[in-house]
Every structure is written in C-alpha cells, then in structure tokens.
Amino acid sequence: MSRGHFTIHSTTQEITVNTDQISGHGGADSPTILVSVKIDFCPVGRGHRDEMIQFEVLSLRAELRATDKNFKIAETTLQTSYRVYDKNSYSTTFQFLVNESIINKIEKARKENLPMNITISAQVGMFESVSYVNKQGEKSDRLFITGFDTGQGNVAFQVEQSQWVNKVLPQMGHGSYKLIELPAINQIIPEEYKISLGEFEEARKYFLNGDYDKTVAHCRAALDPFSGKTNLPKLKEFVKSKSEFAWATSVLESTEEWLEKVIKATSSFTSKTHHAPSIGHFSRTEAEIVLMITTGIIAYIGKIEYKAE
C-alpha cells in the first residue's frame, strides 16, 4: 500500500492506493488500467470553534502518470454523492482507458518495477445549518450546501514487475513480443538444440522483465550451439537445397559475427567482473530486433527435423 493526502478547509483527508489490487481489464479491444483507492474522509473544522462541518463529495477526478519520465497515461472522473458527516472510508476503483500506443510507451521506458503517480482532485459541497421559521412560528434548523471547495493530492507508488508483466499486461491483451512456434526438440542435434531453447527462454524472460542487456546476452548464447564447424555439417545433409543451406549458413554466420561485434562493444557483458555502468547498453527496440532474429534462426533449425522425415 502507498499513502498520500489532500486537504479540505485545512483538514487532512488520507488517500491509500492498494498496489496489490492494481489490474488490467478489457483485453486488446478496450485496454484499461484499474487502480483501487481508499480515501479516509473526516468532517472539517470551522474557524476556532470545535464545530465540525459536514460536506458532500460531488466528484472525484484522477490522473495517472507512469515511469521515471512521469508521462500522462490517462484521466477519469467519477460523479458521486457521498456525504461525510463523521469519519468515513470511501473505496473506489478508477478505470483508466488506454491504448496500445500508451502501453508500448510505458514498456519502452519501464525498467523492472513500474513507478506510477496518481493525482486525485475532490470537489465537495460544504453544508451549513440554516435556521428558519415556518408558518406556525416554529423554528427549525436544516443543512444546506452553501459553498464549495476542492482538495487535491497525489500518491506515488510502484507496481511490482511480476504483477505488471504476468497479470496486468495480459489482462489488457498486450503481447510484449510476437510468438513464433518453436519445435520442442530436434533429433539431429538434440543436446545443442535443448541448450539453445533454454538460453532463448531466458532471453524471453529478461525481455518481458525489461532487462534488455541480458536479453541480448542470452540471445548470443542461444546461437552458440549452432555455430562453428561441428554442427553445420550435421545440418547440411538434411537440407534438400544447396542454395538453402548456403543461405542458412550465411544468415547464421553473419548474425553471429554481428552480435559478436555488438556485444564486444559493451565489454561489461563479456567480463565476469562488471564495471559501471553495467546496464542500459541496449534499448527495448534493439533487444527486440535481436530477439526476433534469434527466434527466426532457432525456428529454422528446429524445422529441419521435419523436413528430414
């Protein structure tokens, strides 16, 4: 939970964001971020007297921002009619409608946990006791809204990486990368293929978690089992076309050479002792390109088995 506050007539009203209840909704057609909030309202004092003034919450406006760059995601307004006459806890869920562009923007800027900030503005009507005399001469007091006030506050919080990646994004129908089906085994080079799939799975996990440096490093490791003079000859006899084998060899060797140059340029990957800065060498876009190239090569190696049958 994360807490903040705003004031109405100098009286503090507490805000609590239930971070563990943040979720997604609507799927790809209507992606929505749901933020659960509790506001502990209490009446406000007037002047130097002990009298407490009741008020009615007429509307709540919320604006959601995200990442270290604090860019705006969306805003929403709830029309309410909630009377505060004593200490009351008001709970609600703000629904922030987003789109694929906003989600991609969040993912490009996110590193592991997702920092967020919600600003809440409450418009309230202030009650005042008004005395009047009816036709029978009887005096009565009644409460009327005689003025308005606005309180505004914000709460900074974080959504855990695992919650965002494993729960919120799928609920909004977001795919962080395009899925290409990879065969589970390869009978030609079974051990090497198994190692490659393991490294590729690690690369995929790091990509989803926003660690793009490790994504690239594991992609490089995923191609290692297919390189060199040992395994290419094994594959050659199963490829029907000489031109196709030449193409596959060229793509694999060129990719390996390119990755080797790229990774050597960031020595923190190849050195067992990392030196600062040890992160931030690769952007999401760069890691995505490497991941997709690696996916294509592994998919090609995997399908050779089926061509041999």
**Domain ranges for the chain:** 2-171, 190-308
Closest residue by Cα to residue 127 from 7, 5, 6, 9: 9
pLDDT on residue 158: 93
CATH topology of domain 2-171: Immunoglobulin-like (2.60.40)
Q: Which residue has tokens 């209507």?
A: 30
Residues 6+ apart with CB under 8 A from 97: 26, 30, 31, 32, 74, 76
Let me know if 184 is exposed, middle or buried by CB neighbors in 10 A (0-12, 13-18, 19+). exposed
pLDDT on residue 260: 61
Per-position pLDDT tens, the chain of length 309: 899 888 888 888 899 999 999 999 998 889 999 999 999 988 887 655 566 788 889 999 999 999 888 899 999 999 888 888 888 889 999 999 998 889 888 888 888 889 999 999 999 988 877 777 777 777 777 777 778 889 999 999 999 988 998 899 989 988 655 555 555 555 545 677 788 888 888 888 888 777 888 888 888 888 777 765 455 555 555 555 555 556 666 666 666 666 566 555 543 443 433 333 445 677 777 788 888 878 777 776 666 544 444
Closest residue by Cα to residue 61 from 186, 176, 154, 167: 154
pLDDT on residue 235: 54
pLDDT on residue 22: 94
pLDDT on residue 308: 40
pLDDT on residue 270: 34
Percent of the chain with pLDDT over 90: 23
pLDDT on residue 11: 84
- Residue pair 248/235 in contact by the 8 Å Cβ criterion: yes
CATH topology of domain 190-308: Four Helix Bundle (Hemerythrin (Met), subunit A) (1.20.120)
- In angstroms, the CA 9 to CA 51 distance is 13
pLDDT on residue 200: 85
Strand residue runs (E) in 135-214: 139-159
pLDDT on residue 228: 57
pLDDT on residue 276: 37
